[in-house]
Structure 1
Amino acid sequence: MTGITPIALSVTHLSKRYGETRALNGVSLMLEQGEMVALIGASGSGKSTLIRHIAGLEIGDGESGRVEILGAVSQAGGRMNREAARGRVAVIFQQFNLVGRLSVLTNVLIGHLGRIPRWRGTLGLFNAREKDKARAALARVGIPQVAAQRASTLSGGQQQRAAIARTLVQEARILIADEPISALDPSAARRVMDVLADISREDGITVLVSLHQVEYARRYCRRTIAMRDGAIVYDGPSTALSNDFLAELYGAASEELVLPDAASSGPADPMTPTGVEPKRQAALATV
């Protein structure tokens, strides 16, 4: 059937408990290929835990939780299949996770690991084609001039863009960004968000970006998923996020996370993310 966008990521009834703390409570969501979706919520809402499960770093509790990556089952019934996410899902973190003593180019080349013989990766032996691809990735994120520099010499924004370049070399189809701009100044944050939006739009890469800064969600993502107490309490157009709802979501921290001149409460924008069922739009939970 034509006109249907394939599903990149499906999470169904995923739960996770750490002792007495319920980190995830029956979370279900679907992301289409090429979507760029914001994930918001206060600290402790479950965002990072959800990201770790999608990335194959954690496994859910019980028999009902299920994660599918591009049609392949990553985890189900309390069992994990790490091969489903390997090479298909890339994660970038707030801390950049670059090796500071190595050159930026070498850090980006690390994205080839898993696609080349292990002995070459261990020895750091990359061929000309692989190096050209890494240089092209650095050009794509706007920092080709820093290839020979030590990663530790880069600014925070440059390091984050180098981390994104590494995911391009990896050829991941799903990019999970966990608070990628929280440590950056506004100018660097915009550059990073511009890069994420560009690769989603131009390469059809699915991007799920966890954000504290709600205005970036409104500006860059057509769709936002909000979490609280391990559950999804909103899944709909970013334009429909009201300041009243955000104040309730974030509590006292909302004054720092929501700009005072942001759009106030109003009717939901009729725009809906491509292929997302109307029944899931503006799905505010009763609070």
Structure 2
Amino acid sequence: MTAIRVTRLSKRFWNTQALSDVSFTVEAGEMVALIGASGSGKSTLIRHIAGLETGEGEGSGISLFGTPVQAGGRMLKGAKSVRGDVSVIFQQFNLVHRLSVLTNVLIGALGRIPRWRGTLGLFGAREKAKAREALERVGIGHAGAQRASTLSGGQQQRAAIARTLVQGARILIADEPIASLDPASAKRVMDVLASINRDDKITVLVSLHQVDYARRYFPRTIAMRDGRIVYDGPSSALTNEFLSELYGSASEELLLPDAPAAAPPRRPEPVRHPSLGALEAV
């Protein structure tokens, strides 16, 4: 089943064309990286899939698990029925610092319990057990009673992922989840994302600034430039040389210092995107 389908999505902010005729699909259970230099359109695309922005154009549309959620620049009624199936993690973690880590994770259950219970913060033993289990899975089971403000950045991001597990989402979208983390914390967060994709079959779409993580963790990468998709294929094909062809000097943003290139046995196959223009022949 197709988890995410984006069709001819465009978006303009004032004089900036943030997205231009973007189309792709992500199958259920896939783990896909979304890369691009600053201003390439990654975050704008993620905000559209998450339902935080609406696209433009009569032919534009977004569907989740076969349910249309956007079409022709407007949100559809079907969006509400699949909202609980999508969880979004941002670079800023979005935890309530004065609350305990366990309570922050329990917030993921709000869409699954009666509204009056959520308003009063009345979570049952079942929800609390699930939240503790989620914290154990992301490696911070010891921190449930702590205030969220006492956690390190990497621990806060893992708490946000635990909240996703409690939510029961079928799609996890992460916008630059490791951008502000040190390498050790970034690796732990990526290990957790790979684990829940593998073990829970959750569809994972992650935007990244560092291509080395895409090559290491993601079978497939979608590369964006100037609001367009310029590559969609195996992450193993993203050699430093190929990235330089796609991005020119901007490729320096995407490479970690001394990051080893994953040399493929042959050059990547051409990717035929109508928006690719002169780059179709690479």
- On whether the aligned pair clears a TM of 0.5, the verdict is yes
Ranges in structure 2 where 5+ consecutive residues have no aligned partner: none
Moved segments of 4+, more than 6 Å: 281-284
Amino acid at match of 1:212: H
Partner of 1:234: 231
Amino acid at match of 1:167: T
For the structure 1 residues 112 and 226, does the alpha-carbon distance in structure 2 shift closer, same or farther, using more than 3 Å as the test? same
Partner of 1:216: 213
- In the alignment, is residue 77 of structure 1 matched against residue 72 of structure 2? yes
Rounded Cα–Cα distance in structure 1 between residues aligned with 2:145 and 2:272: 47
Rounded Cα–Cα distance in structure 2 between residues aligned with 1:138 and 1:97: 16
Rounded Cα–Cα distance in structure 2 between residues aligned with 1:99 and 1:268: 49
1:150-165 alignment runs, 5 A limit: 150-165=147-162
1:21-47 deviation digits (Å, cap 9, x = unpaired): 111101001111111111000111000
How much has 1:79 moved relative to structure 2? 2.2
Do 2:34 and 2:206's aligned partners in 1 also have CA atoms closer than 8 Å? yes
Partner of 1:244: 241
| 2:99 aligned residue (91, 95, 102) | 102
Amino acid at match of 2:66: G
SS at match of 2:178: coil
- In the alignment, is residue 135 of structure 1 matched against residue 135 of structure 2? no
- In the alignment, is residue 92 of structure 1 matched against residue 92 of structure 2? no
1:179-236 deviation digits (Å, cap 9, x = unpaired): 0001001110000000000000111100001000110000000000000010000000
1:1-287 alignment runs, 5 A limit: 6-81=1-76, 82-255=79-252, 257-259=254-256, 260-263=258-261, 267-268=265-266, 285=276, 286-287=278-279
Rounded Cα–Cα distance in structure 2 between residues aligned with 1:284 and 1:142: 42
How much has 1:258 moved relative to structure 2? 1.5
Rounded Cα–Cα distance in structure 1 between residues aligned with 2:267 and 2:45: 27
| Range with greater deviation from structure 2 (67-76 or 79-88) | 79-88
Rounded Cα–Cα distance in structure 2 between residues aligned with 1:222 and 1:135: 31
1:134-165 deviation digits (Å, cap 9, x = unpaired): 11111111110000000000001100000000
Rounded Cα–Cα distance in structure 1 between residues aligned with 2:106 and 2:167: 9
Rounded Cα–Cα distance in structure 2 between residues aligned with 1:279 and 1:242: 15
Q: How many residues align?
A: 275
SS at match of 1:192: helix
For the structure 1 residues 268 and 175, does the alpha-carbon distance in structure 2 shift closer, same or farther, using more than 3 Å as the test? farther
Amino acid at match of 1:237: P
Do 1:38 and 1:221's aligned partners in 2 also have CA atoms closer than 8 Å? yes
SS at match of 2:99: coil
Rounded Cα–Cα distance in structure 1 between residues aligned with 2:272 and 2:154: 33
How much has 1:178 moved relative to structure 2? 0.3
Do 2:106 and 2:163's aligned partners in 1 also have CA atoms closer than 8 Å? yes
Partner of 1:273: none
Do 1:74 and 1:84's aligned partners in 2 also have CA atoms closer than 8 Å? no
How much has 1:119 moved relative to structure 2? 1.4
Do 2:154 and 2:181's aligned partners in 1 also have CA atoms closer than 8 Å? yes
Amino acid at match of 2:71: A
Do 1:222 and 1:238's aligned partners in 2 also have CA atoms closer than 8 Å? yes
Higher helix share: 2
Do 2:5 and 2:25's aligned partners in 1 also have CA atoms closer than 8 Å? yes
